A and B are shown apart, each in its own frame.
Chain A
């Protein structure tokens, strides 16, 4: 480690101050969620004088937040699983298989990466309404399956794999599906994990589409339910904070456990996307 001179000391101090300022909102939120109502707005004290779980209890009695959590996990999990399989297959087809219309189709797929979500929200609603799927899980999952980023990523990745891998396997008599699933997919772990993180996070934090696609409280995702909860219980800051803490924990935990994959995933999908 380099020697820290005066310059370095000033630098580290400044950086630390900024970092502390950045961390305070979340820390304050966590600390205040266990404070009694009077202390939440009343004081500047960081730690509660008497920690209490009343706020959390209030949330659970006022809203089906457990159900919302379940909905989010189900929708995000299923979306991710389907996207991984479907996009890997499509990416492989575009990268390694020759068929008429391949280039045109790929171009059409890539072109949709420029379409903002808000443009398709209205026609998607009309379509799913006609299919009778509003307020169902398929409606929450469907739109994310059509996104092109995953296909693009998987194609890039498969293009980068040496052809010898497949050739060796087909010489051994394996058919295409086996080559794909047993030989290529296991190699694709970095791309798959980046795509998984991107898809799961995007689905979990999605706001506009779940807002539009669900009108029944029991079908809200955690993100939409939380906003709805805050709107309904306008000034009850205790339950607000408890609900926010509850809603933020899953993604925070996942992030802290999978930091490196997260950063890699963001870099990969962020730059390409």
Chain B
């Protein structure tokens, strides 16, 4: 269709629409600029400063914070703790989430009840979960220890043992958040067309064959999404560790965000804290780009 030159009447309407557009957008734009754009840029600027919030004095130090970070053993330990947590927690969170989704996907009577049981922990706040499991994992007197000792096992000191503290936090986190992954996988399962299964039935395929040749390929995209999202979320872990162990024992569970928090709000070394936060941001950005590229390669189904 040939482009029509806008007549004066049209022009008036275009102006009015543009104005409306800005007016509708304005409230969000204001808070967006003030509480997102400005802080993101300012935070980056702060990471190049030696910033004291007490008297607002700041001194430009260039890359000094980042260099200090690279030389800081506590930074590397925190980063490693975060990585360790991610490596320990991601497989159970993804696999169990998938297994539960598959188990519950069948139509049976108590399906909603099971869904509630596995998902309910997710709506609790981190402090409720942290306190609950701190209590459950108490050496000797906590429920878990009592049951295990009763069954004849020798139990470790859980959160007070440097080798068991992080696994204990992982256990807590799996209980808390696996329901979320289960729900996502359930949605993914429902997106697989029923007709594929019916066709397979006609061909005489057994349940295992249907699983491997229909379900697994059908879930590839969702699984990638769940894994990457889980990894990114794990890198940001803070609450449950802070509440359950405070980073101990002996710094064995201090994760990166806790170190950032300590530097910023305990030592008031905000420039340094900011540089670590932006490093984390960079890591997460890389993960996101990787996911994007991988899902592109999967192709659009």
Contacts and interface: CB of A to CB of B under 8 A. Distances in A.
A247 to B, nearest CB: 5
A98 interface: yes
A168 B107 CA distance: 42
A230 B180 contact: no
Interface string A122-133: 111111011000
B121 A122 contact: no
B282 to A, nearest CB: 10
A160 B34 CA distance: 30
B187 A119 contact: no
Given A41-B141, A90-B28, A262-B123, 20 more contacts: A19-B114, A44-B146, A44-B150, A86-B28, A94-B25, A97-B18, A112-B36, A117-B236, A118-B238, A123-B38, A125-B53, A129-B53, A151-B28, A223-B125, A226-B127, A226-B131, A227-B243, A230-B134, A231-B243, A271-B225
B273 to A, nearest CB: 6
Interface residues of B, number: 89
11 contacts: A25-B132, A25-B136, A42-B141, A90-B24, A122-B46, A127-B34, A143-B35, A208-B257, A223-B126, A251-B124, A259-B115
Given A15-B114, A226-B131, A230-B134, A89 B28 contact: yes
B138 to A, nearest CB: 7
Contacts of A251: 123-125
A123 B46 contact: yes
Given A22-B175, A127-B39, A204 B135 contact: no
Contact of A126 (B29, B35, B123, B270): B270
B40 A271 contact: no
Interface string A102-119: 100100110010111111
Nearest to A14: B103
The 3 closest A-B CB pairs, nearest first, are: A99-B21, A97-B21, A90-B28
Contacts of A205: 123-126
Contacts of A23: 117
B125 A118 contact: no
Interface stretch (B69-77, B161-169, B258-266): B258-266
A93 B130 contact: no
B175 to A, nearest CB: 7
Interface of A: 1, 11, 15, 18-19, 22-26, 28-29, 41-42, 44, 85-87, 89-90, 92-94, 97-100, 102, 105, 108-109, 112, 114-127, 129-130, 142-143, 145-148, 151, 176, 180, 201, 204-205, 207-208, 212, 222-224, 226-227, 230-231, 237, 240-241, 243-244, 247-248, 251-252, 254-256, 259, 262-263, 266-267, 270-271
B92 interface: no
Interface string B38-50: 1110110010000
A97 B24 contact: yes
Contact of B127 (A19, A87, A146, A223): A223
Contact of A266 (B32, B124, B180, B257): B180
Contacts of A147: 36
A28 B108 contact: no
Contacts of A125: 53, 264-265
Given A99-B22, A118-B236, A146 B284 contact: no
A179 B118 CA distance: 42
Given A115-B281, A118-B260, A146 B34 contact: yes
A247 B127 contact: yes
Contacts of A256: 116
Contact of B136 (A28, A115, A122, A254): A28
Contacts of B157: none
Contacts of A142: 31, 34-35
A145 B28 CA distance: 8
A98 B31 contact: no
Given A89-B24, A230-B131, A19 B126 contact: no
A145 B187 contact: no
A145 to B, nearest CB: 4
Contacts of B121: 22, 25-26
Contacts of B229: 270
Given A122-B264, A129-B53, A270-B183, A263 B115 contact: yes
B124 A120 contact: no
